C-alpha cells in the first residue's frame, strides 16, 4: 500500500502508477548505476538549460541518456525478471553508445559533404538508430506508435503504388535513412530539440515541487476552501485536480494521485461510486490544459507556430477556468439534488494554517510566470530558475526543507518520469520527417477542404472526429502532432487563427482520455471507486461535456483566447460563463429546483446562444435564462414586479 505522500508523489510523473508496474525494480549495484545515470541526466539538462550546447550535440546527448535509461529500466517483455538488468538491454545500450559516438565525431564533416552518397556503414547505423527509436517508444508506450512509424516509412518507400490522391514518387531506402540520421531534420530534429530544452525541465519542475511537499499544500488548500460546503468532497476533487494540473500536466497522474484520496471521500459523503470516479476523471483531464504547466504537446505547438510558451498559456487560461467552473456547477447541482453535505468544519484544515505552512509553494510558479511574462527570458532559463527557487523557498519552513537526499531523489524521479515522453517525442520525428518528405500534409489538407465543401463548421467537425479516432490508440502527443501537421493547415486556410486551430486540435486530443470506449483516465478512476468502467466513462464524458464545446467557442470568438480589446474579452468571458452555467443546468436537470423537460431543452438552447459569439445571440440567451429563473422561482417575478412599481406607488401616495 502507498502512503498519502507516495500517492501524491505519483501526481507529477506522467503515467506514474502504470509506469511503476511496467518498469524494472532493480536492486543492488544495478539500481545504484541507474540512479546515478538518472541524476546525471537531470543535472545535464539543468546545466544546458542555462548554458545551452550546439543544438545537434545537446540533442545527441539527450537521446543517448534517455534511450539508455529506457533500455535498462523497461523490460523487453512484461514477463521478464524485473529485479536485474537484462543482457539484451545492455547490448542495445552498447549499440546506442557506438552510434552516438559516430554521430558526434562525423556530424560536422558530413554537414560539409552535402549531396555526396553516404557510405553503406553509415546507412546501416542509421537504420539501426531508427529501429532503436521505435523500440524505445514500444517499451514505454506500447505498439501503436512504432506501427505508425513503420507505416510512414513504408508509405515513403512505396508511394507510387497508392491511389493518386495520396500517392507520391517512391523514395529510395538510402534517401529515407540519410534524411533521418545525420541531420537536424530527422531523429535529432526540432521535436527532439524541444524535448531536450523545454519539456524535460518542466517535468523536473513539477517533480521538485512535489518532492518539496507542494502536493500536500494544494490538497490542503482545496480542503480548507471547499471541504465544509455542500458536496465538499467532490468540490475538493475539482479544485485539487486543477491545482495539481498547474504543476503536473498529466491526466492519468492527476487521477491516480488525487483520486486515491478524493474518491473514497466522495463515496463516504453519499456520492454514487460511478459519479465519484467520473468527477475525478473529468477533473484530471483538465490538468493538461491548465497553465502554467500544460501537457507536453504545448511545447510542440511552440515549435510549429513559432510562439512563446507564455502566449499559449495565456490563450488556454480562460478555457481551462471555464472547464473547471462547469464541472464545479454540475457537482454543486448533484449535491443539492441529493442533499449531500460537506465535511464537518472541524475536520477541515483552516485556511490560515494551510497558508502559513505552505504559502511559499506559490513562489516558484510565480517565478516561472514572472520570468516568462515580464522578464522575457527563454523558456528553458525560466524553468531553470524556477527549479532552483524550489529548494531555496523550501527552507522557509522546517517541515518542507529539501535535504540533499531529497534533492537527489527529485533529480532521479524527474529523469525517470520523463522517459515515456522521450520515447514518444523522439519517435515522432520519424512521422514528421516522412510526412514532410512526401508532402502528405498538403494532400490531406486539400482533401479535407474539398470534403467540407468550404464549410468551416464541417471542417471542424471532421477534425474533431479525426482527433477522437486517433486518440483511441495513440498517445496524446502523437495524436496532436499528426493532426497539427495534416489538418491544421486546412483550418488556417479557411481563416482560423493559427493558435486557435492548434488549440482546437490539442483540446480534442486530450478528450480521448475522457471519451469511451477508450477512456484510460475514467478507467483508472473506476478502479479506485470500485465502479463499472463504462458507466464511469460515460458519466465522466457527460460531466466534461463543456470541453467538447469550448474549442468551437474560441475558434469562432478569439476574445476567449484573450485576444482583442479588454472590453470585448470581458463581455465574451461573462457570456461564456453564463453559457457554461446554463449547460450545467441542462446536463443536471436542476437549477433552483428540478427542471421540467421543456426547461431542460431551453437551458441547452440558452447555452448554445450564449456560447455563439455576437450580441444578438447573447441577448437571446440571456432572455431565455431570465425567463427560466423567473419560471423556476415565481416569487422572484412577483418581487421584481413590486420593485418596479414601488416608485409609482410612492408618487400616488404623495398625491
Residue 453 three-state SS: coil
- Which of the two residues, 286 and 128, has the higher pLDDT score? 128
> Alpha-carbon Rg of the chain, whole angstroms?
26
Backbone conformation region of residue 306, classed left if phi is above 0, alpha if psi is from -120 to 50, else beta: left
Per-residue pLDDT at 531:
86
pLDDT tops 60 at residue 269: yes
633 falls within a domain = yes
Per-residue pLDDT at 446:
83
pTM of the full structure: 0.82
Q: How far is CA 341 from CA 207, 221, 226, 229, 644, in A?
A: 35, 19, 11, 7, 37
Per-residue pLDDT at 7:
41
Per-residue pLDDT at 15:
40
165 falls within a domain = no
Q: What is the pLDDT of residues 340-360, one digit of tens each?
A: 777 788 878 898 888 988 899
Q: What is the pLDDT of residues 299-347, one digit of tens each?
A: 889 888 989 888 998 999 999 999 999 988 988 888 888 787 777 888 7
Per-residue pLDDT at 654:
45
477 falls within a domain = no
Per-residue pLDDT at 5:
41
488 falls within a domain = no
Per-residue pLDDT at 104:
93
Q: What is the pLDDT of residues 569-587, one digit of tens each?
A: 999 999 999 999 999 999 8
Per-residue pLDDT at 201:
92
Going 349 to 353 to 355 to 358, the CA torsion angle's sign is negative
587 falls within a domain = yes
pLDDT tops 60 at residue 11: no
Per-residue pLDDT at 344:
80
Whether the Cβ atoms of residue 201 and residue 380 lie closer than 8 Å to each other: yes
Q: What is the pLDDT of residues 141-196, one digit of tens each?
A: 888 889 999 999 999 999 888 888 888 888 999 999 988 998 888 899 988 998 99
648 falls within a domain = yes
How many C-beta neighbours within 10 Å does residue 540 have?
Answer: 33
Query: Rounded to whole angstroms, how far apart are CA atoms 337 and 465?
Result: 34
Per-residue pLDDT at 1:
37
Per-residue pLDDT at 16:
42
How many C-beta neighbours within 10 Å does residue 602 have?
Answer: 20
Confidence of residue 4 (pLDDT cuts 50, 70, 90): very low
Average pLDDT, the chain: 85
For 188-237, the DSSP string reads TSHHHHHIIIIIHHHHHHHHHHHHHTHHHHHHHHHHHHHTTSTTHHHHHH
Query: Rounded to whole angstroms, how far apart are CA atoms 142 and 294?
Result: 23
The share of the chain scoring above pLDDT 70, in percent, equals 91
What total number of domains does the chain contain? Answer: 1
Range of the domain at 598: 566-655
Per-residue pLDDT at 643:
56
625 falls within a domain = yes
pLDDT tops 80 at residue 115: no
644 falls within a domain = yes
Per-residue pLDDT at 246:
66
C-alpha cell at 256: 491516480
Amino acid at each position: 500500500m502507498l502512503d498519502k505522500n507516495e500517492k501524491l508523489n505519483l501526481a507529477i510523473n506522467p503515467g506514474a502508477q502504470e509506469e511503476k508496474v511496467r518498469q524494472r525494480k532493480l536492486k543492488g549495484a544495478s539500481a545504484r548505476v541507474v540512479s546515478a545515470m538518472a541524476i546525471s541526466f537531470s543535472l545535464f539538462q539543468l546545466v544546458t538549460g542555462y548554458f545551452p550546447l550546439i543544438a545537434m550535440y545537446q540533442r545527441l546527448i539527450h537521446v543517448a541518456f534517455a534511450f539508455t535509461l529506457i533500455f535498462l529500466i523497461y523490460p523487453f517483455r512484461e514477463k521478464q525478471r524485473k529485479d536485474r538488468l537484462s543482457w539484451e538491454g545492455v547490448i542495445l545500450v552498447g549499440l546506442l553508445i557506438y552510434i552516438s559516438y559516430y554521430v558526434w565525431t562525423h556530424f560536422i564533416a558530413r554537414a560539409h559533404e552535402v549531396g555526396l552518397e553516404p557510405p553503406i556503414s553509415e546507412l546501416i547505423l542509421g537504420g539501426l538508430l531508427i529501429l532503436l527509436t521505435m523500440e524505445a517508444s514500444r517499451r514505454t508506450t506500447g505498439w501503436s506508435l512504432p506501427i505508425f512509424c513503420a507505416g510512414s516509412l513504408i508509405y515513403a518507400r512505396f508511394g507510387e503504388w497508392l491511389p493518386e490522391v495520396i500517392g507520391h514518387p517512391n523514395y529510395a531506402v538510402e534517401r529515407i535513412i540519410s534524411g533521418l540520421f545525420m541531420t537536424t531534420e530527422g531523429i535529432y530534429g526540432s521535436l527532439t530539440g524541444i524535448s531536450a530544452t523545454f519539456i524535460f525541465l518542466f517535468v523536473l519542475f513539477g517533480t521538485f515541487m512535489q518532492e518539496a511537499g507542494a502536493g500536500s499544500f494544494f490538497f490542503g488548500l482545496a480542503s480548507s476552501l471547499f471541504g465544509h460546503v455542500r458536496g465538499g468532497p467532490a468540490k475538493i476533487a475539482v479544485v485539487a485536480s486543477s491545482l495539481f494540473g498547474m504543476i503536473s500536466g498529466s491526466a492519468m497522474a492527476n487521477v491516480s494521485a488525487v483520486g486515491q484520496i478524493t474518491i473514497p471521500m466522495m463515496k463516504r459523503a453519499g456520492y454514487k461510486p460511478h459519479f465519484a470516479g467520473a468527477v475525478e476523471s473529468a477533473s484530471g483531464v483538465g490538468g493538461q490544459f491548465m497553465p502554467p504547466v500544460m501537457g507536453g504537446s504545448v511545447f510542440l505547438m511552440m515549435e510549429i507556430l513559432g510562439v512563446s510558451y507564455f502566449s499559449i498559456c495565456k490563450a488556454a487560461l480562460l478555457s481551462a477556468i471555464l472547464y473547471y467552473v462547469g464541472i464545479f456547477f454540475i457537482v454543486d447541482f448533484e449535491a443539492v439534488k441529493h442533499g449531500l453535505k460537506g465535511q464537518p468544519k472541524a475536520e477541515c484544515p483552516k485556511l490560515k494554517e494551510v497558508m502559513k505552512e505552505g504559502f511559499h509553494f506559490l513562489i516558484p510558479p510565480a517565478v516561472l510566470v514572472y520570468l516568462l511574462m515580464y522578464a522575457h527570458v527563454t523558456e528553458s532559463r525560466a524553468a531553470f530558475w524556477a527549479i532552483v527557487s524550489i529548494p531555496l523557498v523550501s527552507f522557509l519552513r522546517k517541515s518542507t526543507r529539501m535535504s540533499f537526499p531529497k534533492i537527489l531523489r527529485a533529480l532521479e524521479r524527474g529523469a525517470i518520469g520523463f522517459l515515456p515522453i522521450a520515447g514518444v517525442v523522439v519517435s515522432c520525428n520519424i512521422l514528421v520527417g516522412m510526412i514532410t518528405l512526401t508532402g502528405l500534409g498538403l494532400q490531406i489538407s486539400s482533401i479535407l477542404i474539398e470534403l467540407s465543401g468550404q464549410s468551416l463548421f464541417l471542417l471542424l467537425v471532421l477534425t474533431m472526429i479525426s482527433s477522437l479516432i486517433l486518440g483511441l490508440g495513440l498517445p496524446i502527443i502523437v495524436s496532436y502532432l499528426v493532426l497539427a501537421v495534416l489538418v491544421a493547415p486546412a483550418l488556417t486556410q479557411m481563416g482560423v487563427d493559427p493558435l486557435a486551430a492548434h488549440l482546437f486540435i490539442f483540446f480534442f486530443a486530450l478528450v480521448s482520455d475522457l471519451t469511451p470506449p477508450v477512456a484510460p483516465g475514467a478507467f483508472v478512476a473506476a478502479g479506485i471507486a470500485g465502479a463499472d468502467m463504462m458507466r464511469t466513462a460515460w458519466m465522466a464524458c457527460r460531466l466534461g461535456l463543456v470541453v467538447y464545446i469550448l474549442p468551437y467557442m474560441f475558434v469562432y470568438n478569439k476574445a476567449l483566447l484573450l485576444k482583442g480589446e479588454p472590453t470585448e474579452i470581458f463581455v465574451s468571458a461573462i457570456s461564456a460563463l453564463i453559457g457554461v452555467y446554463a449547460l450545467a443546468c441542462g446536463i443536471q436537470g436542476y437549477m433552483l429546483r428540478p427542471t421540467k423537460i421543456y426547461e431542460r431543452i431551453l437551458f441547452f438552447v440558452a447555452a448554445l446562444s450564449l456560447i455563439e459569439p455576437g450580441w444578438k445571440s447573447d441577448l437571446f440567451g440571456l432572455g431565455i435564462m431570465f425567463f427560466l429563473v423567473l419560471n423556476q422561482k415565481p416569487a422572484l417575478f412577483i418581487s421584481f414586479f413590486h420593485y418596479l412599481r414601488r416608485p409609482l406607488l410612492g408618487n400616488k401616495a404623495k398625491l
